[in-house]
Structure 1
Amino acid sequence: MSLSPEARKTLAGITTATITTVLLKKGLRNVWMRGARPLRPGLPRLVGPAFTLRFVPAREDLATPESWSSPISTRTAIEAMPEGCIAVVDAMGITDAGIFGDILCARMMKRGVTALVTDGVVRDVEGVLGTNLPVWCDGYAAPPSVAGLTFVGWGEPIGWGG
């Protein structure tokens, strides 16, 4: 889904409090994302279509270094991300395995991804900050995602942060 420049400008000027109130009046009561905070203080409000990614609990038989080059991998998902999207990642609130580090965040920047938002954590925090990709997450952890999560797909409905 693309947004017109006018729609982006309008949405960028509306507070999240206003958006949640409007959605509440339309009967949507559970519409905010829990757990995410800006990795770097002072990040601006950003607008873009969501590009969803989903992790499930770790499966040792599936979450292996060899899986990183599988057709269903985070690397493949990043290559499918359209310019201007916001990567919205369901990491099930797991905070002891980082979903992306500096290399994958740098690739998202190169592809023109607007931001990364997750209920999980990132790795290589200094490197991620160095990419200048705006990131909202629940912190950072050194272990890779395969230590606690298995990536299963993108472009699907997700259950993010409750």
Structure 2
Amino acid sequence: MTSSDDALAFKALQGVTTATLTTILLKKGLRNVWIRGAFPIAPDAKRIVGRAFTVRFVPAREDLATPESWSSPKSTRAAIEQMPEGCIAVVDANGLTDAGFWGDILCARMAKRGVAALVSDGVVRDLAGVLTTGLPIWAAGTAAPPSVAGLTFVDWQQPVGCGGVAVFPDDVIVADRDGAVLIPAALLAEVVELAIEQERLEGWIMEEVESGAALPGLYPPNAENKARYEASKKAQA
């Protein structure tokens, strides 16, 4: 897809909840798309949409996971400099929760580069400073120790397993207060179309519920209610 296609798709997805997306993807046979452990660290998190830029860690190995490794040409610092504006950094931190894979200075640099968000199954450190950067973050919490206490950085833009979900570079991530969901890149256009219609339908169903309608035959709609819904769409066209 072109950048203009992305802009249109992402704008549409701004109005679609991750709950709706998991239902749409489930109907297409994809059950494992919700990234476990990735929750917004700020209570006022807004929905974020972007292409995945993947970052991979493996468990710590003492000869490799050292403070000196932070100066290597292949390091977390170098990875950040490759992140394009608008991407969502997806960090595979092995679900480790007793070492912070990222801290405030790294988050500040990402924010300065225009990275849209950070999503991980691991934890961040320097929480007070991280929050001041304004970078939207979905993670499993916080911890004081540095990454090398439990993780070895490997590379960027490789397939990763984040929160039990297979994430490939340029897959699409949508994150909101319910967590972060992956849309396979090849399915983006189709999922967007289906999700917009699903949100419209559920909005109509909610109006019916608020008007006192009972759920059987309404959610999901039977033939009669489907006809009523379609008629309401034509009336609004």
Q: TM-score, length-normalised on structure 2?
A: 0.66
How far apart are residue 156 of structure 1 and its match?
A: 0.9
Alignment-derived partner of residue 107 in structure 1: 109
- Runs of 4+ deviating beyond 4 Å: none
Give the paired residue count.
162
Q: Separation in 2 of the partners of 1:4 and 1:100?
A: 28
Shift of 1:5: 2.1
Query: Counterpart of 1:8?
Result: 10
Find the aligned partners of 2:80 and 2:6 in 1 and give their Cα distance: 23
SS of 1:140 mapped into structure 2: coil
Instruction: Report the equivalent of 1:151.
Output: 153
**Structure 2 counterpart of 1:52:** 54
1:35 counterpart SS class = coil
Equivalent positions of 1:66-145 (< 5 A) are 66-145=68-147
Query: With structure 1 as the length reference, what TM-score do the two structures score?
Result: 0.96
Partner deviation per Cα, 1:65-95 (whole Å, 9 max, x = no partner): 2211112100000000000001111101100
Distance 1:27 1:109 in 2: 35
Amino acid at match of 1:150: T
Name the CA distance, whole Å, in 1 between partners of 2:47 and 2:161.
22
Identity fraction in percent: 73
1:48 maps to a residue whose letter is G
Instruction: Tell me which residue corresponds to 1:30.
Output: 32
Q: Does 1:17 align with 2:31?
A: no
What CA distance in whole angstroms lies between the structure 2 residues aligned with 1:26 and 1:71? 41
Aligned to 1:64: 66
Deviates more, 1:105-114 or 1:60-69: 60-69
CA distance in 1, matches of 2:163, 2:84: 24
| Residue 64 (structure 1) shift | 1.1
Distance 1:39 1:148 in 2: 21
Gaps of 5+ in 1: none
When structure 1 is superposed on structure 2, of 65-74 and 2-11 the one drifting more is 2-11
* Richer in strand (by share): 2
Q: Please give the alpha-carbon distance, in whole angstroms, between the structure 1 residues aligned to 2:155 and 2:24.
A: 31
Give 2:163's aligned residue.
Answer: 161
The one-letter code matched in structure 1 to 2:105 is I
Mean CA deviation greater in 7-16 or 91-100 = 7-16
Deviation at 1:139, TM superposition (A): 0.7
SS in 2 for 1:29: coil
**Pairwise CA RMSD:** 1.1
